[in-house]
């Protein structure tokens, strides 16, 4: 058989919710060709299914049993397209590490189209790693299994944490060789998102002087995602305001959970305020506000504590791109709302992590001093907040399991007295507070060494069980999940550090 030949059709083809009954409605493909390029995927050599995510399949009304079809991987590697798909690659530009790049676009991603589910929601279905496109520049259009596993797991981990994100339907693998720092094998990630429109989607037309296209794209985004704005006299300013507030809330969520994206270029910023394009991400372990997860970020532009400021910088670039539609004075007024929106949301989220309701300005010293002490003692961020749910608020309680995480126990004791006084104002018992805190402080995050263990099993032994185990674990990050306690631990002492770069 030819290595790219289709597998035999399955008798499931006529079943409800089958691959061939996906309800495609390709609205972005109906925009003028200035916005995209028609692009057939490059066939993948003997594709096979690595992992399938039933939770994501439900978003597009796809029967989970379809993953058992012999030809499932053929469809989601791009070798054979689902009925109704109109594959395109999207055009955009962007500021990369602060420097404008005039044309980027989907260099290794192909949008099959949008599937409309029974609830009327549209979900982009995109193949990442499906081959060369007009925007590939020096690339080969492929993704490698290593990076595909990382994005697959992290996007679902973020969803489990309640953070807006693209979703991951499946990974298809191949023995086809791909050259990065070393020879690796190719893979395709099928990801879903309400939209893949980015800040850079507007920038490309602004810098080309194509103002009519800016209007068309803004009208498209409003019609598809914000239809209530369609007849507002200042709809473009309100659109910018919506994007600004969504981005502020997203940055607050990232910071509260200890997530670093690693490469917050404007082409990686979603117009809907969702987490998009997982590359050199990292969940912070020992608390370090200067945490840099991207080995390529030599100057720390995208360090953990810089993310809120970078998001505002990126929003300013978006406002500049929208300047033919939104006057400067109005854009400035919108952007002025970013910092208060971020700050209010972040303080409230941190208050919830401490078991406090309606945290605000009075709680800032309590939050700030704790983080300062955690940094000095290199306290594990996620594990400490999870353990804090067990804090004994009795006046004479020592809370040794918590205080022993600090180099200076007396420092924790002083903070604990202030914390105890604030808890007294809550008027709830410790058990109730713990239940509340456990709902917002995850026990499980996608630590780098966990992802690496899954990658090593997959690449060295074709054992994909650890991918599926982590997928199930991270779908319920706030639950105890008996028997899985080792997955909550930091990397073992002396374990080699894992460096992740933009190529990851």
SS3 letters across 363-378? HHHHHHHHHHHHHHHC
| Whole-number Å distance between alpha carbons of 392 and 400 | 10
Whether the Cβ atoms of residue 319 and residue 241 lie closer than 8 Å to each other:
no
What global pTM score does this model have? Answer: 0.95
pLDDT surpasses 60 at 75: yes
Which two tokens mark 420?
């105890």
Q: Where are the beta strands (DSSP E) in 237-352?
A: 259-260, 282-283
- Residue 11 pLDDT > 60, yes or no? no
Tens-digit pLDDT profile for residues 198-210? 999 999 999 999 9
Terminal CA-CA length for the chain: 33
The per-residue pLDDT for 16 is: 42
Q: Which two tokens stand for residue 108?
A: 């290794």
**pLDDT over 60 at 9, yes or no:** no
- Active-site residue numbers? 267
Percent of the chain predicted with pLDDT > 90: 92
Our CA dihedral for 217, 219, 220, 225, rounded to 10 degrees, sits at 120
What pLDDT band is residue 17 in, cutting at 50, 70 and 90?
A: confident
Cα–Cα separations (whole angstroms), residue 51 to 9, 83, 189, 403, 448? 20, 22, 10, 42, 19
- Amino acid 6: pLDDT: 37
Say what the pLDDT of residue 3 is: 35
Q: Is 424 exposed, middle or buried (0-12, 13-18, 19+ CB in 10 A)?
A: exposed
Mean pLDDT, residues 338-367:
97
pLDDT of residue 502: 66
């Amino acid at each position: 058989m030819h290595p790219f030949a289709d597998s035999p059709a399955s008798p499931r083809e006529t079943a409800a919710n089958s691959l061939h009954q996906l309800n495609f409605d390709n609205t972005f493909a109906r925009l003028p060709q200035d916005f995209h390029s028609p692009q057939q995927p490059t066939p993948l050599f003997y594709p096979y299914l690595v992992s399938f995510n039933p939770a994501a399949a439900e978003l597009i009304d796809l029967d989970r049993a379809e993953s058992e079809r012999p030809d499932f991987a053929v469809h989601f590697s791009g070798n054979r397209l689902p009925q109704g798909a109109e594959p395109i690659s999207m055009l955009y530009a962007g500021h990369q590490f602060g420097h404008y790049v005039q044309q980027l676009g989907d260099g290794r991603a192909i949008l099959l189209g949008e599937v409309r589910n029974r609830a009327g929601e549209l979900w982009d279905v995109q193949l990442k790693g499906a081959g060369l496109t007009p925007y590939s520049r020096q690339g080969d259009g492929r993704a490698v299994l290593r990076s595909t596993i990382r994005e697959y797991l992290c996007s679902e981990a973020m969803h489990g944490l309640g953070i807006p994100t693209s979703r991951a339907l499946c990974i298809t693998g191949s023995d086809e060789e791909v050259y990065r720092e070393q020879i690796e094998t190719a893979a395709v990630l099928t990801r879903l998102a309400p939209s893949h429109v980015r800040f850079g989607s507007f920038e490309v037309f602004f810098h080309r002087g194509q103002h009519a296209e800016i209007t068309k794209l803004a009208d498209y985004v409003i019609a598809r995602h914000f239809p209530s704005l369609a007849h507002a006299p200042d709809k473009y300013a309100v659109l910018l305001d919506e994007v600004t507030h969504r981005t502020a809330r997203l940055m607050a969520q990232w910071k509260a959970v200890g997530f670093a994206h690693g490469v917050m270029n404007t082409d990686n910023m979603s117009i809907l305020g969702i987490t998009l394009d997982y590359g050199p991400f990292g969940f912070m372990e020992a608390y370090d506000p200067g945490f840099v997860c991207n080995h390529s970020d030599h100057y720390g532009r995208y360090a953990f504590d810089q993310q809120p400021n970078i998001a505002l910088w990126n929003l300013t670039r978006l406002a500049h791109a929208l300047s033919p539609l939104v006057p400067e004075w109005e854009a400035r007024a919108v952007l002025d709302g970013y910092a208060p929106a971020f700050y209010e949301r972040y303080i409230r989220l941190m208050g919830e992590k401490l078991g406090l309701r309606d945290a605000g300005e009075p709680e800032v010293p309590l939050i700030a001093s704790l983080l300062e002490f955690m940094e000095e003692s290199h306290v594990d961020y996620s594990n400490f907040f999870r353990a804090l749910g067990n804090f004994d608020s009795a006046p004479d309680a020592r809370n040794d399991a918590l205080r022993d995480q600090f180099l200076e126990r007396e420092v924790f004791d002083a903070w604990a007295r202030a914390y105890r006084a604030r808890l007294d104002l809550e008027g709830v018992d410790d058990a109730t507070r713990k239940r509340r805190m456990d709902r917002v402080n995850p026990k499980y995050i996608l630590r780098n060494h966990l992802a690496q263990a899954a990658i090593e099993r997959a690449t060295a032994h074709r054992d994909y069980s650890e991918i599926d185990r982590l997928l199930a674990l991270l779908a319920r990050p706030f639950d105890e999940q008996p028997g899985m306690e080792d997955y909550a631990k930091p990397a073992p002492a002396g374990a080699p550090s894992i460096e992740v770069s933009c190529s990851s």
